[in-house]
Amino acid sequence: MLLLTPQNWPDYELIDSGGYEKLERFGQYVLRRPEPQAVWEKSLPETDWERKADAWFKKEKGKSAPEGNEKGEWALTPRMPQQWTIQYTYKEMTLRFRLGLTAFKHIGIFPEQARNWDYIYDSVRQIKAQPVRTLNLFAYTGGASLAAKAAGADVTHVDSVRPVLSWARENMEASRLDNIRWVWEDALKFVKREVKRGNRYQGILLDPPAYGRGPAGERWILEDGIAELMDGCRKIADDAGCFCVLNLYSMGFSSLIAENLMRNCFPRAGNPGYGELFLTDRFGKRLPLSVFSRT
């Protein structure tokens, strides 16, 4: 089992965590956001949290999106912009992300995913046959897509939220990359169509939410749909070899579940790696944020 946290990232830092919140620095700005996993006590006093935060997301009681996201409002200091840019560098890869304050506490990036970006970049570079056809499902603002593209992959990026596709395109352009294929569609429907079309991929990336909606109102529930989705991915994986990254944010899912799904769908890949992605604050507290498995 692997425990992985981002390393050597000047533009990101988890300053403190606890009391169901996290205090993070993205570039030059410090954000204070809810975090249900941070059940322990904070290390810094409340006065430090208030003084350091340039933006504080405050939840609205009783208001949530259908997918379970917390809804609220940001309280901003005068110096805090609505949008700004940070970058991430690994080997020859430099990714740039436009961040923004949304009504559901998200800002356009999940920093713990950096170690998966490294893995994707290395996996694409290790495959001799080029270009490496790579499919990114539930692709959000495109961190995994950018990592694959930076390594030279032919990338198809699928998401069901049209504004998020535009956001991902901005990140591609900011990163000085091009020619990612953008698909606005329900992930499961797209995979089923790819099976019928006989298309094959050498890389498959999945980051399914616990709950979600497709463009036509299709309902996604992780525990109900993940087995069928993974079976579809098995059918579009290149017989000559395919790497896969499965990331799960559902608090009820163990990394062993991700490993079992990977073993069932990619039995020829051998023993898949699996574990947790986490962030470490200045005081050594480790904040678990997702589980993963990858071949």
Q: What is the spatial distance between Cα 93 and Cα 149, in angstroms, rounded to a whole number?
A: 10
Asked if 95 contacts 143 with a C-beta cutoff of 8 angstroms, the reply is yes
Q: Which pLDDT does position 69 carry in this prediction?
A: 62
Predicted confidence (pLDDT) at residue 117 exceeds the cutoff of 80: yes
**Mean pLDDT value of segment 151-179:** 97
**Residue 255 to residues 206, 208, 239, 244, Cα–Cα distance (Å):** 14, 14, 26, 15
H-assigned helices in the chain? 46-52, 114-126, 143-150, 162-174, 187-197, 222-236, 255-265
pLDDT band at 62 (very low <50, low <70, confident <90, very high): low
Q: What is the spatial distance between Cα 220 and Cα 174, in angstroms, rounded to a whole number?
A: 31
CATH topology of domain 2-84: Immunoglobulin-like (2.60.40)
Q: What is the spatial distance between Cα 60 and Cα 73, in angstroms, rounded to a whole number?
A: 7
Q: Which residues 6+ apart lie within 8 Å of 291 measured at CB?
A: 247, 248, 253, 254, 255, 257, 258, 274, 275, 276, 277
Q: Which pLDDT does position 130 carry in this prediction?
A: 79
CATH class of 109-294: alpha beta
Task: Enter the DSSP assignment of 180.
Answer: P
Q: What is the spatial distance between Cα 185 and Cα 123, in angstroms, rounded to a whole number?
A: 26
Q: Which pLDDT does position 148 carry in this prediction?
A: 98
Predicted confidence (pLDDT) at residue 67 exceeds the cutoff of 70: no
Share of the chain above pLDDT 70, in %: 97
Domain boundaries, the chain: 2-84, 109-294
Q: What is the spatial distance between Cα 32 and Cα 58, in angstroms, rounded to a whole number?
A: 9
Q: What is the spatial distance between Cα 24 and Cα 205, in angstroms, rounded to a whole number?
A: 27
Asked if 145 contacts 137 with a C-beta cutoff of 8 angstroms, the reply is no
